[in-house]
Amino acid sequence: MKVLVVGGAGYIGSHMVQTLLDAGHAPVTLDNLSSGHRDAVPGGEFILADLADRSALDAALAAQSFDAVMHFASFIQVGESVRRPDLYYRNNFAHTLNLMDAAVAAGVKRFIFSSTAAIFGEPVAVPINEGHPNAPINPYGASKAMVERALADYDRAFGLRSVCFRYFNAAGAHPRGHLGERHDPETHLIPLVLQAAAGLRPNIQVFGNDYPTPDGTCIRDYIHVMDLCASHLQGLEWLEQGKPSQAFNLGNGSGFSVLEVIRAAEEVTGRSVPVVHAPRRDGDPARLVADAALARDLLKWVPRYPRIEAIVADAWRFHQAHPASR
């Protein structure tokens, strides 16, 4: 299948391009390189363009016949979204409408969207399934929820069928070691812990150690980036088979605490990680864990890397092989 991968130079997008190539598909990456990296695109055609440029999107989609669009080009920093909601509603929602409109105009009927567990807000039940109320508490989560609603309406109006994947905590790196996280600034726990293990930062801050969890620190559901990409491939097959639009929660279903992640990093690296305890952050629930039973049932999706040590080991391999990305 010919697939337009929007944001294919970013963390998850670049792994998706590699997954599509390995599966025998023909990915075409479209990215503005504002946060992605051209050298992270492992193959296939590359188009330098911005979601804000509708004419560029029309030209890209008209130049060849695409079977599907995959969209990874969202802003992802929760704190920034609170400070600058204008950026998040514009890029994550308004510019995504540009892409959806261009897809409809080009006759594309399959759309896969990178959504987030942030659409749920404060959990009322854990683990979180697809029926959990949508009540985002920040503009990042709200912008993603708005796209999900728009996609449902575009399906009814224009026949643009979609699969929305609500990620919990994407982590890890490609097992071959050539792709990994290169965010700037880095805000994700595992690469920050590995930076502390490598001596590139003095310590890792642990926000709160008095939560109602076994060790007092927050529990989160970490999912290997390759397991995410496998689910997207299965989502593509779902749509190719003529199945209806669907949203799926993606996670391992068993969370790991902040201290468990740190201990896993110490085990993998053989180095100690200095820890500084800090007060709780506002809006940090004690436990966020996915119920991914629907993806397992309908897509036959089974995570291949459920152990936190395996996730951390792949991230460390990339970290060691690419010192410039630290």
Tens of pLDDT, residue by residue over 32-86, are: 999 999 999 999 999 999 999 999 999 999 999 999 999 999 999 998 999 999 9
187 — pLDDT class (breaks 50, 70, 90): confident
**Enzyme catalytic residues:** 140
Query: Where do the domains of the chain lie?
Result: 2-170+223-250, 173-221+253-325
Tens of pLDDT, residue by residue over 202-225, are: 999 999 999 999 999 999 999 999
Half-sphere exposure of 89 (CA within 13 A, CB side): 8
**pLDDT value at position 324?**
56
**pLDDT value at position 246?**
98
Tens of pLDDT, residue by residue over 238-252, are: 999 999 999 999 998
Give strand ranges (E) for the chain. Answer: 2-6, 26-31, 45-48, 68-71, 110-116, 161-167, 169-171, 204-207, 219-220, 222-224, 246-250, 256-257, 275-278, 287-288
Per the prediction, the chain carries an average pLDDT of 95
Second CATH level (architecture) for the domain 2-170+223-250:
3-Layer(aba) Sandwich (3.40)
323 — pLDDT class (breaks 50, 70, 90): low
Q: What percent of the chain has pLDDT over 90?
A: 93
Cα 133 to the center of its chain, rounded Å: 21
Class of domain 173-221+253-325: alpha beta
CB 117 within 8 A of CB 76: no
**pLDDT value at position 325?**
55
Distance from C-alpha of 120 to C-alpha of 172, rounded to nearest angstrom? 24
**pLDDT value at position 295?**
98
**pLDDT value at position 58?**
98
**pLDDT value at position 322?**
81
Tens of pLDDT, residue by residue over 78-133, are: 989 999 999 999 999 999 999 999 999 999 999 999 999 999 999 999 999 999 99
